[in-house]
Amino acid sequence: MKKILCIGSCLLLVCSWMACNKTETYAELVANEKDAINTWISKDPIDVGFGHISSKNEEWVKNVASDILVDSLHPEQCGVELGKWYRITEGDFKRLYFRINSWGNDGLNELREKGIEPTDEQYKTAMRNKKKFYTGKNVLVRYDQQYIISEYDYDECATNVSGDNGKTVDYLICYSWNSSYYSNSYYGNYYGANANDECTSGGIAFPARFLWEGGNASIICPFSLVEATYSGYYYTFYYGDIEYTKPNFLFR
């Protein structure tokens, strides 16, 4: 009986401790993030201009990745539109929002400016140049207007800090041109003297599949895909004007 009473007392203590140290469940964190993103989009405090957001599932992500990376189809041929926001609803990139602002140097901008639709051969040439750009499997990523939207103060907008990494040497995203590209296991390193940061953001790497040298994108990155430095804080980020370029220095 004493043993039973002792066990019962221990259980009560454990339950009491758990009640006093209640933390948010993952489902609650996701729900809070959804509310934060919806508020960010509806209030649009930095005038992003979201417009109609198109929802895409995991099958779409895989099909587009295959069309672009395996079949060498231009993203335009896959129905991806410039300036349009997309939301991914399933899979490794679930809850990621992205917009392609510029394809980069695909060699077709002059035709677009004249309102001329590129031919299939011109698209093929553009895709050959795209593969040349990614030969090193490393992409230098610079961005501005980085906001933690899960912590954003809408009452005092001016007090929110807009981070950026627009320095000479910045994050590198490393990836591979194959069918598993849609996986979120991307790794990168901060190159340069006294470097102490690491970037493992599948979110910020995602738009790279659509882009050429100098391409530009914006994203809302869920806490599940942010840089490792911040994932433990469950931060949700908005990254504006992310530029993807080829590093112009030697790799270590």
Domains and CATH numbers, the chain: 24-245 (3.10.50.40)
Cβ-count burial 226-243 (b if 16+ within 10 Å, e if not): bbeeeeeebbbbbbbbbb
pLDDT at 23: 79
With a CB cutoff of 8 Å and minimum separation 6, the contacts of 122 are 107, 108, 111
User: String of b and e for 103-142 (b: at least 16 CB within 10 Å)?
Assistant: bbbbbbeeeeeeeeebeeebbebbbeebeebbeeebbbbb
138 strand-pairing partners: 174
- Residue 239 CB contacts under 8 Å (≥ 6 apart), including other chains: 143, 145, 146, 204, 218, 219, 221
CA neighbor of 218 nearest in space, from 92, 78, 100: 100
Closest CA to 204 of 244, 148, 163, 147: 244
DSSP β-bridge partners for residue 174: 138, 187
Cα separations (Å) of 138 from 15, 164, 213? 50, 20, 12
Q: Of all helices (H) and strands (E), which one includes residue 218?
A: strand 215-221
Q: What angle do CA 221, 172, 72 make, to 5 degrees?
A: 80
Tokens read off for 15: 């339950």
Supply the DSSP symbol for 38: H
Pairing of strands 215-221, 237-245: antiparallel
Amino acid letter, 197: D
Angle 109-112-116 (CA atoms, 0-180°, nearest 5)? Answer: 135
Nearest one of 86, 170, 45, 71 to 130, comparing CA atoms? 71
pLDDT of residue 181: 34
pLDDT tens for the 252 residues of the chain, in order: 434 334 343 433 333 333 334 578 999 999 999 999 999 999 999 999 999 999 999 999 989 988 988 889 999 999 999 999 999 999 888 999 999 999 999 999 999 999 999 999 999 999 988 877 765 556 777 888 889 999 999 999 988 888 766 554 455 565 544 333 333 333 344 444 333 344 456 688 888 889 998 999 999 999 988 876 677 889 999 999 888 887 665 443
Q: What is the DSSP letter of 244?
A: E
Return the pLDDT at 247.
Answer: 66
Task: Identify the pLDDT of residue 114.
Answer: 92
